[in-house]
Each structure stands twice: as C-alpha cells, then as structure tokens.
Amino acid sequence: MKKRLIGLKTLVNKNVFVPTGTSDLLIEASNKIIEGNKSILDLGCGNGIVGISLSKIKRIKKKVYFSDISDSACKNTEQNCKKFKVKCEVKKGKIFNPWKNYKFDYIISDVAAIADEAAKISPWYRNCTNNAGIDGTKNVINFLNEAEFYLNKKGSILFPIISLSKEKKIISVLKKKFKNINLIKSKIWPLPKSMCKNIKLLNKLKNKKIIHFENKYGILTFKTNIYHAQKKS
C-alpha cells in the first residue's frame, strides 16, 4: 500500500512503477485544468494513480481510459479501479498503439523518464526499466509526436519533464507540435542519496548537457516541470 494525494491507498504490485512525487504534482496540476465531463486518457498509467485520483477529485461518472506497456501495470490499474469504483477501459500497448480509433479531450501522460545512465543509479527503476535513451527524451518525444492524432478538437495534453533528461530537446518538439504551451506547476526536489553518491557520473552527464541539477546550500537538487499544451488544429 502507498498513500498518495487525497488519501488514496493504492495497490502497487511487483514490477510496476511506484508513483513518485512527480505523479502527485501531475495530479495537482491536472486538477486545475481538466473539466469533469470530458474524456481522459491516462497514458503510461502504472498503477492508475493519476486517472483514478482525478476521477475521484472531479467526481467523474463516465469511463476513464488507461494504458501501459506493462501487463502487470494494466492488471494493477484494473485492481485499483475496482477498489475505488472507477469506470475504466484499460489496454496494454506501447504509447498510442491500443487507441487507434479513439480520440480524447485530455491526454495525461506520466511517461516522463530520465537519462538511462542516471536511471541506473536512481531508486525509481528497481521494479521496472527506464528505457528512455541516452538523454532521457525518447518516451516523451514519441508521445509528443503522436498525441495530436488522438485528441479531439481543442483537446490538450498534460505531462511532466524532469531535469534529469534533456529538457530543451523536449521543449523544441513541443513547440513544433502544440500551441498555447504553459508551464503550470514546478517543484524542486533533493536528489536521492544513491544518486548523490555517484557525483562523478552526474557531473559527466551535466557537462554533456544531458541532465541538469543544482547545488543549493550543499544539497543537490533536480526539478520537475508540468506542462499543459493544446492541439494546434
């Protein structure tokens, strides 16, 4: 069990990504944007915490959509939807492969990841793989390149970018694909101890401009930014 935002104690099964502070930040930011009568896809759903939390906060009566590349994550999401009485449709597949004939008002993606070398020394990927590429942008850019085709007119996306990936590269793609781009929430976090112990590797990645972190009064920190952007046409 893991207690998250609004007091939900969701089940987190073996081999499923454990929700982090970024998940909570995404929920908080999305809550200010989404309307309760609209269709929502929770992409890269993990244990379903983002879609389920928003369903309860917004008192959504209609079906919420979820997908993940992991069979374990999909089963975990179904468990949690049943537990919290959330109407759902859960599909397994990579990015948008399961949703070929669907369109949504909001796509909320928690597929943000970090540079592969940084992931190896982090505590976040013990239950699952990172697989986001050398600069940590692969998953997010794949999402941005396809998302517009799965949005209704005036539809929008919400997603995080973590500074332990190459943020400028992601923003460049975002600007090409979407309009009305806004940074709606941001938070600074201390780097986990397991990462601080590998400062040489972190400095190497920072010097190559693959990741960014700061030293604030002797504490190494990274940042999560939550973005909201609208479909161009």
Does domain 2-190+223-231 fall under CATH 3.40.920.10? My reply is: no
User: What parts of the chain have a pLDDT lower than 70?
Assistant: 1-7
Q: Could you write out the DSSP letters of every residue in 80-127?
A: HHHHTT--EEEEESSTTGGGTT--EEEEEE------HHHHHTSSTTSS
Q: Where are the domains of the chain?
A: 2-190+223-231
Would you list the DSSP string of 143-154?
HHHHHGGGEEEE
Q: Is the pTM of this model over 0.75?
A: yes
What is residue 7's predicted lDDT score, i.e. its pLDDT?
Answer: 62
pLDDT at 97: 96
pLDDT, residue 6, reads 54
Confidence at residue 113, expressed as pLDDT on a 0 to 100 scale: 85
Backbone angles phi, psi at 43, to 5 degrees: -95, 130
Q: Which helix (H) or strand (E) holds 195?
A: helix 193-196
What are 159-203's pLDDT values in tens digits? 999 999 999 999 999 999 999 999 999 999 999 999 999 999 999
Q: Report the alpha-carbon distance of residue 111 to residue 116 in Å, rounded.
A: 14
The backbone torsions φ and ψ at residue 99, rounded to the nearest 5 degrees and listed phi first, read: -120, 35
| Per-residue pLDDT, 5 | 47
